[in-house]
Chains A and B, each alone.
Chain A
Amino acid sequence: MANSHQLKRVDFIFRNENDWEKVLSATIKNKPQELINELISSELKGRGGAGFPTGLKWKLTAEAKSDEKYVICNADEGEPGTFKDREILSRVPYKVFTAMAICGYITGAKKGFIYLRGEYKFLKAELQKVIDEFHYYCKETGLDFEINIFLGSGAYICGEETALMESMEGKRGEPRNKPPFPTQAGYLGKPTVINNVETLVHAFTIFKYGAKKFYDLGVQYSRGTKLFSVSGDTPKPGIYELELGMSLQDFVYEFGDGDTKAVQVGGASGFLVPRKKFKDAAIGFKGKLTGISLPTGGSMMLFNSSRSMFNVLDNYLEFFREESCGQCTPCRVGCQQLLLGIKAVKRGEKPASYLDKLLRLTETMQLTAKCGLGQSVANSFSSIVENFREEMIY
């Protein structure tokens, strides 16, 4: 049994708080260093999926020497099964903007951008209205900070932070080599904080209520709450704010349809967990959780016993093949060959042992692909092929 919390619903993110002007003006009365310490002590980690400590990211950017710095809100929410950021931007956008402005105050950035995926263009007009109002209050508060919306044009890879910056610079969205990291050289080569939409809302909560309120939720190494996008074979698809550290078993009790065969945690680039491992898996960052710990950007897709895991994997691989930027060979050719390979095994043109070759290919991709896209194809591929091997063959 995983050492995990019971599933607990929380309501921080969507709580309607009309006092953001007060939160902004009160927060920027503190010294940047004090605010960074507060953020670090909350142990907030990035909510886009990678889980980098947010306080440290802000600290590194604040320490970087440059006359020009930027704050970017990553709203290029493209991971299959994720739709929480859209909900945040339509319901509590001012929390996101407030956190960006506070980040600007702390780091010395005067310009912020929201990289909004093209699929969410319908949000733009409404967001712009809130931004205009927000600029007015920034002026009133005496804070020199300006936010602009940059629209994407349909490319999953642009959710990768350096690809996003390339895209903002008017280029193909091809990820850069790291280092240098964006905290040193980001947008236009200048120190840049780039955070997921949800991360910024948590930062707002922390600055409003203090780090302790956030820290007291969740479990060790996985503090606070997280928004989960629940879809697939569930009687209640939607967006839920839950404490981190819950066991997958508890999650399935709450959201399953009684016949859940497997859950994909973290979208197509995440892991598929079969029923027999539900009780050993907990949702949170690596650390004290016993059993399997599954970090996630919040995508939870449930599959019941009527679903073919071959079709699921086929769908993911087609997705990756199309969305691979094509820049590095392991990912470009790897995704193509994995897709061709599983089809060949299914049709009986290749022996079942060919799956092991394909598994080795994903290991190579994990080691050699340039960015998270190519590296993470191995996650879903190996967790599906290893747990549902017979479905791949017959």
Chain B
Amino acid sequence: MDPIQTLIKDLADKHGRNRASLLPIMQGVVEIENFLSERSMAEIAREIDLPAADVYGTASFYSFLETKQTGRYIIRVCKTITCAMKGKNQVLFAIQEMLKVKMGETTPDKRFTLLQTNCLGWCHKAPAMLINDDVYTELTPEKVRDILSDYMKKDAHH
């Protein structure tokens, strides 16, 4: 078995092999792989005995279950009203300039993917963003540059 098959088998052992375990399994794959490849979705379908179309249909419904290749760090900048009012665009420009990517793109080194997302629930500390599961609030262009530099340094050690 290759690593993907092993991962999915372990997740199915843990969460069960029924429809109700589909989301936890997909989340488990995303936690390791950052996204659901066609290969992983087909493998999940085989492992829990569902049509692959159902797996894809479910995955594509949820914005945190990416079905296209992403970077290791997915940046999701909140674009809902309060963040938009409190300088979300300036934060976005700073990220785009620093990473040299446009919205929706992944850096060529496959480290960062830049996305926007809907209300993260930090309106009192806007603007906010997620990098994978970690929350960053009260962002400014300076602050976001520091945060990304830290990620770049951290990642360089790997």
Which A residues are closer than 8 A to B by beta carbons? 77-83, 86, 117-122, 150-156, 167-173, 188, 229-233, 237-239, 264, 268, 301, 303, 307, 311-312, 315-316, 319, 322-323, 325
Contact = CB atoms under 8 A, between A and B. Distances in A.
A322 B63 CA distance: 10
Nearest to B18: A170
Interface stretch (B78-86, B90-98, B148-156): B78-86
B118 A322 contact: yes
A153 B62 contact: yes
B23 A154 contact: no
B20 A154 contact: no
Given A122-B133, A238-B124, A168 B81 contact: no
Contacts of A172: 57-58, 61
B24 A237 contact: no
20 contacts: A77-B121, A78-B119, A80-B82, A80-B123, A81-B81, A82-B121, A119-B130, A151-B23, A151-B24, A151-B27, A153-B26, A153-B64, A168-B20, A170-B22, A173-B62, A237-B125, A268-B81, A303-B85, A307-B85, A319-B119
B19 to A, nearest CB: 4
B73 interface: no
Contact of B84 (A120, A233, A315): A315
Given A153-B62, A154-B62, A155-B61, A121 B133 contact: yes
Interface in B116-136: 117-126, 130, 133-135
Contact of A119 (B21, B85, B121): B121
Contacts of B135: 122
Nearest to A187: B20
Contacts of A150: 23-24
A172 to B, nearest CB: 4
Interface residues of B, number: 36
B65 interface: yes
Interface string B97-127: 0000000000000000000011111111110
A120 B121 contact: yes
A55 to B, nearest CB: 28
B20 A231 contact: no
A239 B124 CA distance: 8
Interface centre among B20, B65, B79, B126 (most CB of A within 10 A): B20
A237 B81 contact: no
A230 B64 CA distance: 27
B123 A170 contact: no
Task: Give the top 8 A-B pairs by smallest Cβ distance, nearest first.
Answer: A170-B22, A154-B64, A231-B123, A237-B124, A153-B62, A154-B63, A172-B61, A170-B19
A316 B65 CA distance: 23
Interface in B1-44: 18-24, 26-27
Contacts of B84: 311, 315
Contact of A229 (B24, B124, B130): B124
A175 B51 CA distance: 22
B105 to A, nearest CB: 19
B45 to A, nearest CB: 12
B121 A232 contact: no
Contact of B123 (A151, A173, A229, A322): A229
A228 B108 CA distance: 44
Contact of A319 (B22, B80, B123): B80
A233 B84 CA distance: 12
A153 B19 CA distance: 16
Given A83-B124, A172-B57, A237-B124, A118 B64 contact: yes
B147 to A, nearest CB: 15
A36 to B, nearest CB: 30
B73 to A, nearest CB: 15
A231 B124 contact: yes
Given A122-B135, A151-B27, A315 B80 contact: yes
B119 A169 contact: no
A292 B121 CA distance: 27
